[in-house]
Structure 1
Amino acid sequence: MKKSIISLLAAAALITTAASCADNQKGPGAASRTFVLVHGAWQAPYVWDSVQADLVKNGNKVIVVKLPGHGSDTTAPYRLSLDVYRDEVINAIAKADSNVILVGHSMGGMVITSVAEKIPNKIRKLVYIGAFLPSTGQALTDLAYSDPGSGLGPLLVPSADRLTLDVKRDSLTYLFINDGSPTVKDLVLTNYRAEPAIPFTNKVTLTNEGFGSVDKIYIKTLKDVVISPALQDRMIAAAGIKTVYTVNTSHSPFLAEPHTVSALLIKAAL
């Protein structure tokens, strides 16, 4: 009888140990995360397709945000603002069942910054990919005008009513995806539409308790001619970001090297 009790206790201990090991395997390095991906200007959710597939394949959840006035959305440009974009992302995050890894590219960096100020407790980490990263009181235009290494400015064509901005078509792929395959370049050209202009001029107001309280990571795009590496360095320094990764690509690394980007996002989420 005594031996039977000892055997039962040993078996119970073995089960407990196995369960503990299983829980450890589901720790920070292996646990599923929820990524919220925010595209930049002149682009739309399609740019994240390959990265989304990689993240999901690795057991993560992904929410891809379509900003109003982009893709198939027909919101009139005069109705758009940075706050409208912010609220669209906040609504998307509300559907998540955990704190999220919020990722923004280019103009999307302005958006995720505004979101973090509003709901910092819902965001596990902010990840900027070749993105505008403002300080309080700055608009996207303030940062863009301070970037002599950018080739974008001379190639912009405002509409007559100044509510949208076009990019000269023969320069579009050079700016955004010069290192992409012909298929990817065609994808960018096919999905292109003029960009709403008002959100570019909206300034952010940031606090230490809001935006300042969220962990941040920056992924630099080393061959970028839209947001120069020099401006990226200045924004990183101003924000005090310590964790910086690099991709040796143009402005759209998720199209040029999507697997590299998804691997970095998984690393950033740890």
Structure 2
Amino acid sequence: MRITRPTRMTRHALLGVTAAVGLAVTALTLPGAAGAAPRQQDRPTIVLEHGAFADASSWDGVVRRLKREGYPVVAAANPLRGPATDAAYLRSVLDHIDGPVVLVGHSYGGTVISQAAKGLEGKVKALVYIAAFLPDTGESSLGLTNKFPGSTLGDAVTSVNYTLPDGSQGSDVYIEPDRFRHQFAADVPASEAGLMAIGQRPIAAAALEEKSTLAAWKTIPSWSLVTTEDLNIPVAAQRFMSARAHARTTEIDASHAVSVSHPGAVTRIVEDAARTVR
């Protein structure tokens, strides 16, 4: 049997193959090429603001889907200290984003985006409220919760006092871990809800009572996802606020943790809002 050596490729032939491969890769990645994902700079940036008793990881399922569709995404950390403080922090995040923004808030995060977006109508093109508060000026999250029956949050929380820099006392509110799943995430698998309970971010009790001073939903188009099995914000309260804001509203049979239990539904309403941005 005769064994032949592989033929040595000449320098010119090698350069030709390299150029051909380079052109093929370029064709696959150029914007507008068949099968290529949409360029992120062609889409508004989606900014996600979590609420109380959660953190930015509560958006993970939504982030994955939005990124797959080509959207730039920022899942901001919410200090949960009060509407004025938290809105100022969120505005600092928005200041570092170029181009149009769709601002999404869950729960108390709705209070924050309502305040943060006011005056930024040229940048924030749509507001999306996910099982969220849409307060008017002079209203608080706690006041809106108590306006309608249905919330059992008061029976499920505990508070921890701490000392502020000026020596006065503050209070942080948590959901008791053994009540977390039933109260906040009844339709989330038990193992995942258990991790959420351990990693929950507390909210300052004063934040729930602080009154809003701005309501961006009056000047920016709004969308709302109402959760009918919610034990934190009564469904009647969600419907009232959504109707008052003339928000394009969808209802879903879900717990308060809808971004975790139904990330696809949340993504769809965010994309509905994003498609209106030009």
Shorter-chain-normalised TM-score: which range? Answer: 0.7 to 0.9
How do 1:192-203 and structure 2 match up within 5 A? 192-203=200-211
Letter in 2 for 1:48: W
Unaligned runs of 5+ in 1: 1-20, 70-79
Which residue, 40, 43, 52 being the options, matches 2:51?
Answer: 40
Aligned-pair CA distance for 1:82? 1.6
Which residue, 245, 252, 259 being the options, matches 2:250?
Answer: 245
Mapped contact 1:130–1:221 kept (Cα < 8 A): yes
Deviations 1:176-205 (A, max 9, x none): 110111332122123124322222122112
Q: Does 1:150 align with 2:151?
A: yes
- Measured in 2, the distance between the counterparts of 1:31 and 1:174 equals 41
Which residue, 66, 70, 79 being the options, matches 1:59?
Answer: 70
Structure with higher Rg: it is: 2
- Measured in 1, the distance between the counterparts of 2:42 and 2:271 equals 10
Deviations 1:49-93 (A, max 9, x none): 111111011000001110126xxxxxxxxxx33212101111111
Aligned-pair CA distance for 1:143? 0.6
Deviations 1:179-235 (A, max 9, x none): 11133212212312432222212211236xx54211111111121111121111111
- Measured in 2, the distance between the counterparts of 1:165 and 1:147 equals 21
Mapped contact 1:158–1:165 kept (Cα < 8 A): yes
- Measured in 1, the distance between the counterparts of 2:71 and 2:59 equals 14
- Tell me the equivalent position of 2:10: none
How do 1:189-228 and structure 2 match up within 5 A? 189-206=197-214, 211-228=217-234
Letter in 2 for 1:213: T
State the SS of the aligned residue for 1:117.
coil
Runs (4+) of structure 1 exceeding 6 A deviation are none
- Please give the root-mean-square deviation of Cα atoms over the aligned residues, in Å: 2.3
State the SS of the aligned residue for 1:120.
coil
Letter in 2 for 1:172: F
Q: Does 1:184 align with 2:184?
A: no
- Measured in 2, the distance between the counterparts of 1:182 and 1:201 equals 31
Counting aligned pairs with the same residue, the percent is 28
- Tell me the equivalent position of 2:127: 126
Unaligned runs of 5+ in 2: 1-31, 162-168
Letter in 2 for 1:215: P
- Measured in 2, the distance between the counterparts of 1:192 and 1:206 equals 27
TM-score, normalised with respect to structure 1: 0.79
- Measured in 1, the distance between the counterparts of 2:131 and 2:56 equals 16
For residues 211 and 246 of structure 1, do their structure 2 counterparts lie closer, same or farther at Cα, with a shift above 3 Å needed? closer
TM-score, normalised with respect to structure 2: 0.77
Number of equivalent positions? 232
- Measured in 1, the distance between the counterparts of 2:43 and 2:100 equals 11
Mapped contact 1:135–1:239 kept (Cα < 8 A): no
- Measured in 1, the distance between the counterparts of 2:196 and 2:151 equals 20
